[in-house]
């Protein structure tokens, strides 16, 4: 009887010890260290992935066709001038957007009595050739851009637009009076000579999540030759622009 009690006591003691040891053993085998896989990261968006309002800054040059240098003393031969500007792209979708812009430049204009026109003049020209004025140029453009995706970060865009190019005489040069400045202003803007339909072609390359590099060429057509009765060839006052710049999505 005593021996049975001792055996039972040993069994209880063994069960208690086993209950204390088993959790530790199971924890080592049932909860092994498992390397946690990193959570999937969303790909970073590029500057032209989704449509958004974007502010652009550009610098460029333009060529202005001239047909009178051979007949007007002091007239500039199809000048190439520098310009700079700003734009604001307003997308309707990933394909269509308005991209109104302002361009700024300066030049000198001579009013030639022989042809009855104000034309860009050489900087060396004197007042003896006719009224001369320093001109501030303001281009106001409203284009409709169509965008095609060429790659993850590259877009091609093109489209038509309308432009108004104001060439504003600021002051007279070499004795030119205010009345003579008025003659230059009138000639440059009468009969719609400020109105230019345009076409453009360019590329947009994303260089960050909100910044893109822009390269563009555009041509502005002096359609007013159709009604101004000046008997000038169509390329006279044709503008061809080449612009480079940056666009920042707001």
The CA distances from residue 122 to 45, 185, 188, 240, in Å, are 50, 18, 17, 20
What is the helix (H) or strand (E) element at residue 16, kind and residue range?
helix 2-30
* Each residue's pLDDT expressed in tens, for the chain with a length of 250 residues: 444 554 555 555 555 555 555 554 444 444 455 556 565 555 455 555 667 899 999 999 999 998 886 667 767 778 899 999 999 999 999 999 999 999 999 999 999 887 888 888 877 666 667 899 999 999 999 999 999 999 989 999 999 999 999 999 999 988 889 888 999 999 999 999 999 999 999 999 999 889 999 999 999 999 999 998 878 889 999 999 999 999 999 9
- Cα–Cα nearest to 228, from 195, 191, 194: 191
User: What is the extent of the structural domain holding 59?
Assistant: 54-249
Report the alpha-carbon angle 68-69-72, nearest 5.
80
This prediction has a pTM of 0.77
C-alpha dihedral sign at 8, 9, 14, 17: positive
Q: What is the CATH number of the domain that holds 83?
A: 2.40.160.20
pLDDT at position 1 is: 46
Assigned domain for 40 exists: no
C-alpha Rg value of the chain to the nearest Å:
37
Assigned domain for 67 exists: yes
Assigned domain for 70 exists: yes
What residues contact residue 137 under an 8 Å CB cut-off, 6+ apart?
A: 83, 103, 104, 105, 106, 107, 165, 166, 167, 168
* Helix, coil or strand: residue 204: strand
d(CA 49, CA 66): 42
d(CA 142, CA 17): 88
Residues 233/125/177/83 CA torsion (nearest 10 deg): 60
pLDDT at position 115 is: 80
**Structural domains in the chain (count):** 1
d(CA 219, CA 161): 10
Assigned domain for 209 exists: yes
d(CA 143, CA 124): 37
d(CA 79, CA 63): 6
Here the tokens at position 35 are 């390397």
The CA distances from residue 137 to 164, 178, 234, in Å, are 10, 18, 21
d(CA 19, CA 85): 82
d(CA 237, CA 189): 12
pLDDT at position 126 is: 63
Please name every residue paired with 245 in a beta bridge, in sequence order, or none if there are none. 58, 214
Assigned domain for 28 exists: no
pLDDT at position 26 is: 45
Assigned domain for 87 exists: yes
pLDDT at position 229 is: 81
**Which residue do the tokens 């190439």 mark?**
80
What is the helix (H) or strand (E) element at residue 185, kind and residue range?
helix 178-189
Assigned domain for 15 exists: no
d(CA 98, CA 60): 20
Please count the CA atoms within 13 angstroms of the CA of 189 that sit on its side-chain side: 15
pLDDT at position 101 is: 98
pLDDT at position 24 is: 46
Assigned domain for 38 exists: no
């Amino acid at each position: 009887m005593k021996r049975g009690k001792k055996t039972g006591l040993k069994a209880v003691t063994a069960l208690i010890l086993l209950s204390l040891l088993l959790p530790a053993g199971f924890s080592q085998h049932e909860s092994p260290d498992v390397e946690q896989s990193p959570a999937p990261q969303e790909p970073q968006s590029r500057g032209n992935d989704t449509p958004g309002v974007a502010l652009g800054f550009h610098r460029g040059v333009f060529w202005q066709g001239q047909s009178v240098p051979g007949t007007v003393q002091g007239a500039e031969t199809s000048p190439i001038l520098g310009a700079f500007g700003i734009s604001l792209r307003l997308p309707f979708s990933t394909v269509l957007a308005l991209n109104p812009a302002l361009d700024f430049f300066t030049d000198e204009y001579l009013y030639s009595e022989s042809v009855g026109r104000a034309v860009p003049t050489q900087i060396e020209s004197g007042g003896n050739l006719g009224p001369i004025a320093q001109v501030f140029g303001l281009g106001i453009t409203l284009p409709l851009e169509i965008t095609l995706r060429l790659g993850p970060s590259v877009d091609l865009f093109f489209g038509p637009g309308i432009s108004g190019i104001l060439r504003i005489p600021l002051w007279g040069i070499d004795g030119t009076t205010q009345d003579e400045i008025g003659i230059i202003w009138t000639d440059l803007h009468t009969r719609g000579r400020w109105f230019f339909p345009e076409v453009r072609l360019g590329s947009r390359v994303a260089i960050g999540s909100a910044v893109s590099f822009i390269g563009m060429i555009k041509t502005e057509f002096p359609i007013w030759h159709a009604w101004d009765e000046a008997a000038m060839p169509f390329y006279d006052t044709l503008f061809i622009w080449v612009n480079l710049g940056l666009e920042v999505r707001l």
